A and B are shown apart, each in its own frame.
Chain A
Amino acid sequence: DTGVSQDPRHKITKRGQNVTFRCDPISEHNRLYWYRQTLGQGPEFLTYFQNEAQLEKSRLLSDRFSAERPKGSFSTLEIQRTEQGDSAMYLCASTEQSGYGYTFGSGTRLTVV
């Protein structure tokens, strides 16, 4: 297992389009987290899953955002009707439930033009 993978690394989209990002966590990690990081800021929590269950969503996660983790494996984050304010780095992290060893992916950098 080579760590947490995120795809794509970069995405440029036109305003109003839908985009979907994928995260493949470390296989034995049952918790998966999504964060958003804007330029010059620290990452902000968006949502997390324990296995396939989405247990918490931040108020940052508007109704244009949806995340899934079917079968408790990979996860997808979809943004509908993108806005310029959605431009950011989207980071995924995974960990074991009882652990504190979070492993982050390299992120997907979204630019909305």
Chain B
Amino acid sequence: AQKITQTQPGMFVQEKEAVTLDCTYDTSDQSYGLFWYKQPSSGEMIFLIYQGSYDEQNATEGRYSLNFQKARKSANLVISASQLGDSAMYFCAMRELNQGGKLIFGQGTELSVKP
């Protein structure tokens, strides 16, 4: 069964430093996509970055990069130069392409950026 695991319930980082949020996944499918979302206290889910299972290069979007290690089934999010506004919940999610497009989410990591 498909599953996403985020083992860090909470993380602290100093402003302007980099932080890595861990995500491992389990799937028997060969075609899948991995997502990271940010959820501030207001509740909306904000898309950050996407990695397809066949993408050979790690995805990057501005200060966000995804460290994709397919053999280890991990898809860690790296945030460079943390800002105070990065404080939020972060969710890793997976979509299997033959499963109707639904997303399976991990439990989330609460990131706190210290000034």
Query: B-contacting residues of A (Cβ < 8 Å)?
Result: 31, 33, 35, 40-45, 48, 55-56, 89, 91, 93, 95, 97, 100-107, 109
Contact = CB atoms under 8 A, between A and B. Distances in A.
B105 interface: yes
A100 B91 contact: no
Nearest to A108: B43
Given A48-B102, A102-B103, A41 B108 contact: yes
B44 interface: yes
Contacts of B104: 45
Given A105-B44, A106-B42, A33 B102 contact: yes
A37 to B, nearest CB: 8
Contact of B101 (A40, A43, A95, A109): A95
B40 to A, nearest CB: 10
Closest 10 CB pairs of A and B: A42-B105, A104-B45, A106-B44, A45-B102, A107-B43, A43-B105, A56-B100, A42-B91, A42-B108, A42-B107
Given A33-B102, A56-B100, A43 B43 contact: no
Interface in B17-75: 33, 35, 37, 42-47, 50, 52
Contacts of B103: 33, 35, 43, 45, 93, 102
Given A43-B105, A107-B44, 14 more contacts: A31-B101, A33-B101, A33-B103, A40-B107, A41-B108, A43-B91, A45-B104, A89-B43, A95-B101, A101-B47, A102-B47, A105-B44, A106-B42, A109-B43
Given A105-B44, A107-B43, A100 B108 contact: no
B43 A100 contact: no
B10 to A, nearest CB: 11
A33 B105 CA distance: 14
Contacts of A55: 100
Contacts of B42: 106
Nearest to A31: B101
Contacts of A93: 45, 103
Interface string B84-115: 00000001010100001111111110000000
A65 to B, nearest CB: 16
